[in-house]
C-alpha cells in the first residue's frame, strides 16, 4: 500500500476541562495548530490497517481517536484537525522521536529497553508470543524448532527472542526476518521457505485467515512472553502522558474498551469480515481491572 496521509476533523462541544498545569511541547503545538498527527501501521489487523476505501481503522486506532477527543477536551479546542501518518515496523520509533507524529497506537510491545527511545502509555492490549505452522509440521512447541527455519518481522520482539533461543539454548534456528515492504512471513511460510512463523498470538490468528487454505494451519506453543502493547509517546512529556493514560483508564473503567475489544476480536471485523473469535484472556481481564503502564520484562 502507498504511504499517504488521511485527514479529518473532530468537532466536540466545549467543556470545562482544566488544561494541564505544565502543558507539554506537544500539547502547546497541538493547541497552536489545532492539528494532531497520529501514527498508524498500514497492515496489522485487527490493531491498525487501511480499509479498501482508504480509511484507517482498527482496535488500536479506535483507542487513538478516543485519546484525540480527550486531548481536544483538555485543550478546549472547538475543532481538531486529525492527520493520520503511516509508519513501518522499522521506523515506528523515529517518527515519534522526530516529532513526525504526536503519538501512535498500534501493536508495539512495551519493553524497558524501548523506554530509552520513547515513552509508553498505559497498556491497551496483552498478547502472547506463539507459533503458526502447518498442522502436519510436527511442531508442537518451541523446543521443536531446533534446526528449523522460522520467520518473523525484522526489529520485532519475536526476532529478539529467537536470537536468544539460539544463543542460550543452541537451537540453531535459521531466522528469516521480513520487512513491511516485500515478502511477508505468510508468503515465506506458504512458499515452504519456513517451518513456522513466530509472532503475537492475535496477529497469528488473523494471518491464518489470510492463508490460501486456512484449515491447513494452526497456532501452537507455550507463550514465550507476554507482550504489553502501549501507545508510543515522546519521551519525558509528562503532561501528554497524563492525558493519554487518564483516557485509557476511563475507557477501561467505563466499559468502552471492552466494547472496542468485542468489535474487533469477537465480531466480524469491519472491512475484513473475518471473526477472530478470541475471548479476553485472563491477562486482559486483569488489565481492565488494574490499568497500568508496566512492561512484562
**Residue 194: all three cell numbers together:** 519456513
Rounded to whole angstroms, the Cα distance separating 265 from 95 reads 28
Quick check: 110 and 120 in contact, CB under 8 A? Answer: yes
Cα Rg for the chain, rounded, in angstroms?
19
Contacts 24+ apart (CB under 8 A), 91-95: 92/39, 92/41, 92/232, 93/117, 93/118, 93/232, 95/39
- Enter the pTM of the model: 0.86
Confidence of residue 22 (pLDDT cuts 50, 70, 90): low
Q: Give the tens place of pLDDT for each residue, 127-169.
A: 999 999 999 999 999 999 999 999 999 989 999 999 999 999 9
Q: Give the tens place of pLDDT for each residue, 203-253.
A: 999 999 999 999 999 999 999 999 999 999 999 999 999 999 999 999 999
Quick check: 19 and 76 in contact, CB under 8 A? Answer: yes
- Which of 24, 160, 1 lies closest to 99 in space, CA to CA? 24
**Sign of the CA dihedral 145, 190, 49, 284?**
negative
Domains of the chain: 6-126+227-289 (3.40.190.10), 131-226 (3.40.190.10)
Rounded to whole angstroms, the Cα distance separating 27 from 44 reads 28
Amino acid at each position: 500500500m502507498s504511504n499517504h496521509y488521511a485527514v479529518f476533523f473532530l468537532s466536540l462541544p466545549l467543556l470545562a476541562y482544566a488544561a494541564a498545569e505544565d502543558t507539554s511541547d506537544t500539547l502547546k503545538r497541538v493547541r497552536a495548530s489545532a492539528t494532531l498527527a497520529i501514527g498508524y501501521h498500514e497492515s496489522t489487523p485487527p490493531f491498525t490497517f487501511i480499509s479498501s476505501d482508504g480509511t484507517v481503522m482498527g482496535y488500536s486506532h479506535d483507542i487513538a481517536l478516543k485519546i484525540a477527543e480527550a486531548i481536544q477536551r483538555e485543550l478546549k479546542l472547538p475543532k481538531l484537525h486529525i492527520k493520520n501518518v503511516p509508519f513501518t515496523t522499522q521506523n515506528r520509533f523515529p517518527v515519534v522521536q522526530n516529532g513526525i507524529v504526536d503519538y501512535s497506537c498500534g501493536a508495539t510491545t512495551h519493553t524497558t529497553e524501548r523506554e530509552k527511545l520513547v515513552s509508553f502509555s498505559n497498556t491497551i492490549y496483552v498478547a502472547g508470543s506463539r507459533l503458526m505452522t502447518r498442522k502436519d509440521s510436527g511442531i508442537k512447541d518451541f523446543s521443536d524448532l531446533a534446526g528449523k527455519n522460522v520467520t518473523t518481522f525484522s526489529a520485532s520482539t519475536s526476532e529478539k527472542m529467537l536470537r536468544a533461543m539460539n544463543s542460550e539454548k543452541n537451537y540453531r534456528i535459521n531466522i528469516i526476518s521480513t520487512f513491511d515492504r516485500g515478502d511477508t512471513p505468510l508468503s515465506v511460510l506458504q512458499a515452504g521457505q519456513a517451518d513456522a512463523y513466530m509472532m503475537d498470538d492475535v496477529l497469528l490468528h488473523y494471518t491464518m485467515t489470510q492463508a490460501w487454505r486456512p484449515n491447513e494451519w494452526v497456532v501452537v506453543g507455550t507463550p514465550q512472553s507476554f507482550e504489553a502493547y502501549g501507545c508510543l509517546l515522546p519521551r519525558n512529556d509528562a503532561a501528554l502522558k497524563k492525558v493519554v493514560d487518564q483516557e485509557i483508564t476511563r475507557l477501561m473503567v467505563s466499559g468502552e474498551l471492552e466494547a472496542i475489544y468485542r468489535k474487533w476480536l469477537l465480531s466480524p471485523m469491519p472491512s475484513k469480515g473475518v471473526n477472530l473469535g478470541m475471548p479476553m484472556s485472563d491477562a486482559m481481564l486483569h488489565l481492565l481491572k488494574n490499568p497500568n503502564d508496566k512492561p512484562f520484562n
